[in-house]
A and B are shown apart, each in its own frame.
Chain A
Amino acid sequence: MSRTGRILAATVALSVSLSAITHASQVSLSVAMSNPVLKSDQKQTAFLKVGLEGFRMPVTTERVAVNVALVLDKSGSMNGRKIEEAKQAAIQAVRRLNANDIVSVVVYDSTVEVLVPATKLTDKDAVCKKIAQVQPGGRTALFAGVSKAAAELRKFIDRERVNRIILLSDGLANIGPSAPSELGSMGASLKKENISVTAMGLGLDYNEDLMVDLASSSGGNHVFIEDATQIAGFFAKEFNTVLSVVAQEVAVTIDVAAGVRPVRVFGNQAEIAGQKVLATLTQLYSGQEKFLVLEVEVPASPEGKARDIAKVSVAYDNMLTRSTDQLAGKASVNFSSSDEIVASSVNTEVLEAGVLLFANERNKAATILRDKGDINAARQLLIQNADYLKKYAADLGSVQLDAACNLNTLQSKNLDDVQWTRSRKAMRLEQYVIETQQSYGALPESTPSQTQASQTPQKQPAAPQPRR
């Protein structure tokens, strides 16, 4: 029995590796199940991971050209260090670009000013000079600022460029549309034009839901910049990612086999209709992996039966070859009555991703609980989540899960009113970073203020204190 199991496992592994054959200038696709061998004769759920890894851009080739709009908040609250740092960061970013790139700069307070209309960056000094002259004052017309920036980007919209709006704001949008849903609606529309918005929140007064919705709906990044001195650093990281794009408009289609039910795709805004799952990743970066995890419900099947789970096809714009490439992959499972075989077949990488995203969903639920004012329930959920992550971290020997466990534990201590403004921003950020595999922006664990937290007595004596 164990022998047949091993053979089965080997075939599955082979099929996976075959589908993942890659090329030097091709995105590599990996499609895998968390458990290639499932327990027979029972209905169960499993994770399907679709991983896409951007190829390494050859050093010799010219990097991809970008079409970037910088949207800077110059409302009154930006006055002082914030605006100066922002201006410096923007100038430094512009200095990194070259004449193939298109840059526009939009500043807003109560109204919007298109400081630098979209133009090929042939005269950097003129652009930098204009940025340096920005004076803060007024309210926050965030929506209008992004609207105008999108219009600027559209002047030169091009499949061969990376189109990106980089928004820096420190305040609540108080002029014009200001609901997260409205910003999300705009973002969703921009994503279809291959424009993504990176939303950078500065300080503690911005609306993180609005910023996250804008970033997530448009497939951009999200950053929480606590201190103005960090702006330049984050701008540099953002440009690093923008300049390292190797693939765009990555359309992932998962055809789930009949009999298997697609339950949900974690985080990513995929649409599931019937057996078909569609998702679009805006960009893939050089040497970086982005993935989707689909939770599927597999019907009870007899031992020894092989079952196709899904076929995956991917189409994307290759920024190196300037062509639209297609990839395909599929996943299948076998069934065994032996717990041992089932256990030994576990794909740790897929399981790790699944657990991480599953815990992330619970983390979001904790935020919602806390928003309703139920601090205890939120704390309970976070501690539970930490325990869950801790268990898998130990089982899979995963550093990532261990870090997530620590994060949940830490968050459970920072739910009181005093810390909530900050910790909510941190929480929303971490959720977003995990969900989208954002390459930068996660807060260093040491940053959160722990002095307060350690003084707060924990109210769950029954729950074992997670190890720190």
Chain B
Amino acid sequence: MRNKPLILLMLIVGLPLGGLTWLGVRVARDDEAALKQRFEEVFATQLYDIDGAVSRHFESNSIELRDTARQVKSAPDSIRALIRRTPQLRQVLVLDNVGSVLHPDSNSDLNLAEREFLHEAQELIRDRDLIHVSTGQSDSVQKKQQAEAALPTRGEESESLSAASGSSDEGWHVWYWGRGVHLIFWQRRDDGKVVGLFIERGRWMADLIAALPETVNRQHDGVSVATTARFRLVDSMGQSVYEWGEYEPPEESTPLTETAVSTPLTSWRLQAFVPDSLLAGASSGTAFQLASGIGAVACALIVLVTVFWREYSREVRQASQRVSFVNQVSHELKTPLTNIRMYADLLAVDLENLEESTGGKFADRLRVIVSESQRLSRLISNVLTFGRQQRDALILNPRPASADELVRRVIEQFAPTLSRLGFQTELKLDAGQPVMLDQDAVEQILVNLISNVEKYAADGKLLKIETCRDNSKLRIIVTDAGPGIPAAMQRAVFEPFVRVSSRLEDAAGTGIGLSIARELARFHGGDLTMMDCASGASFCVELPALEEVRDA
């Protein structure tokens, strides 16, 4: 029970913190996704620019090759000389308008390279690829190729570039042979002849690489580089052809974004890799802010709760100190009061032995002293009981006793006061049989009830006490004819320190009488309840009526 406030306080701290964290994490995650998207866009733009550089490279190369193609004459020696002086030129294929090979002519004296080339390109020549491409018939031609099925048809590639260069009589043709893509620049002459320039595969790749950026190591300039990436050009098999950028992505990592290369290398792709730490690093800012925000709120809450808790516990402590002080004082009061009562009683006996005439006046005054000291004694015992109850230190000591006798004894105790106030006492006692009772406790209950009647229902001039016993229950009902208790207060009167009226001119009281009475009754295994009645108030004490102690 004492932990209840503590748990409450922890909840006060925990719930908002939890909510805040959850919210924060969501915000951070959204941030990360947004950031990743932004990065993707940035890098997609970069890849687009790179691809632009690639296509510009091939465009300017095709302009160069257009001139080269025009220089192709029919004499084999002149073609050979052209090949010898043109670095990127590997071989030249000249076809007539139906696709027959004019050069290299296998019927003439060919050199080794030309013979090898004819062997290599025999399929290309047989299928009249270049003729189809150059006359724009390629769409209808479905070719078996060593290339992937996913690749666009070769004709489309050639045509799109032809369109770009403003004429349809020249363009790139992509040929898959051996280790991969081979590039052919074709040109159709007015007489229908088609010249195919076969580019050195090693050369156009090297030139392409040279046209792409290299890794710039900015660390040499003393600049630490926070934003690094890796760009990669991959061929149709997904193999890296060239890459640049300082970031070294782990193997098998997936690119942040990628894009296809434009003509003629449409089966190749450009990829961008970015370290996870870059994405995480940017969002770790928000994560940090979030964590610190949550931390600050947590600190504030904890401080607040600690202050609150300390105040609270100090008050609790002070209250219990006050109670124990009152208890001690009350205890201290008991002994002198007992002495006062004892000597008052002895004085009363002494006065009885005096002559009637002189003693009468003294005896009356002495009776007031005795009754007031009894009242004080009751008050003290109530306070002590309350203190014990607060410390959970109540102990019962049941013994066989008659309830009726107890009632009589208490009434006797109150008799002088009651008669002085003009009370009419009605007793209807029907529980003479002794049962197990803690006499002190039951007496205290009765005393509290009767003193309430005396205090608050003096106007009614009636005190009615009934006792009865049915089977296992003993009932003692105390009824008065006073003003009664308003319905709204009927439950509250049993709470400690609650009084029906707090006005000073009303009867004095501590407000703990009924509370103690009920607690004692409950502690005794019974209860104290209020009964409905037409006028006044009626309290019923219900106690278990055990003949003797069953269990020790």
Q: Which residues of A contact B (CB under 8 A)?
A: 110-114, 130, 133, 137-138, 141, 143-144, 146-148, 150-151, 175-177, 179, 181-190, 192-193, 271-276, 278, 280
Contacts and interface: CB of A to CB of B under 8 A. Distances in A.
B215 A111 contact: yes
Given A133-B220, A148-B214, A175-B243, 10 more contacts: A111-B244, A114-B214, A146-B206, A150-B206, A176-B240, A176-B242, A177-B241, A183-B202, A271-B113, A274-B109
B69 to A, nearest CB: 17
Interface in B502-526: none
Contacts of B88: 189
Contacts, number: 113
A271 B244 contact: no
B533 interface: no
A192 B217 contact: no
Interface in B76-113: 76-77, 80, 84-88, 90, 108-113
A143 B206 contact: yes
Contacts of B108: 274
Contacts of B242: 141, 144, 147, 175-176
Contacts of B201: 182, 185
A391 to B, nearest CB: 31
Contact of B243 (A111, A113, A188, A280): A111
Contacts of B110: 273
Which of B80, B108, B215, B248 has the most A CB atoms < 10 Å from its CB?
Answer: B215
Secondary structure at chain B's binding surface: helix, strand, loop or mixed?
A: mixed
B76 A177 contact: no
Please give me the 10 A-B residue pairs with the lowest Cβ-Cβ distance, nearest first. A185-B202, A274-B109, A186-B202, A151-B210, A147-B206, A189-B203, A111-B215, A271-B111, A147-B209, A273-B111
Contact of B210 (A141, A147, A181, A276): A147
Interface of B: 76-77, 80, 84-88, 90, 108-114, 178-179, 200-203, 205-207, 209-210, 214-217, 220, 230, 240-246, 248
Contact of B245 (A111, A176, A185, A272): A111
B208 to A, nearest CB: 8
A412 B136 CA distance: 59
A148 B209 contact: yes
14 contacts: A111-B243, A113-B215, A114-B214, A138-B248, A141-B242, A141-B243, A147-B206, A147-B210, A175-B240, A179-B179, A186-B206, A188-B90, A188-B200, A193-B87
Which of A114, A144, A151, A175 has the most B CB atoms < 10 Å from its CB?
Answer: A144
A195 to B, nearest CB: 9
Nearest to B115: A273
A113 B213 CA distance: 9
Contacts of B210: 147-148, 150-151
A271 B111 CA distance: 6
A143 to B, nearest CB: 7
B270 to A, nearest CB: 15
A182 B244 contact: no
Contacts of B87: 189-190, 192-193
Nearest to B215: A111
Contacts of A150: 206, 210
Contacts of B245: 111
A176 B241 contact: yes
Nearest to A112: B214
B84 A192 contact: yes
Contacts of B77: 276
Contacts of A133: 220
Nearest to B245: A111
A182 B179 contact: yes
A272 B114 CA distance: 10
A218 B241 CA distance: 22
Nearest to A154: B210
Contacts of A175: 240, 242-243
Contacts of A181: 178-179, 202
B203 A113 contact: no
Nearest to B246: A111
A188 B80 contact: no
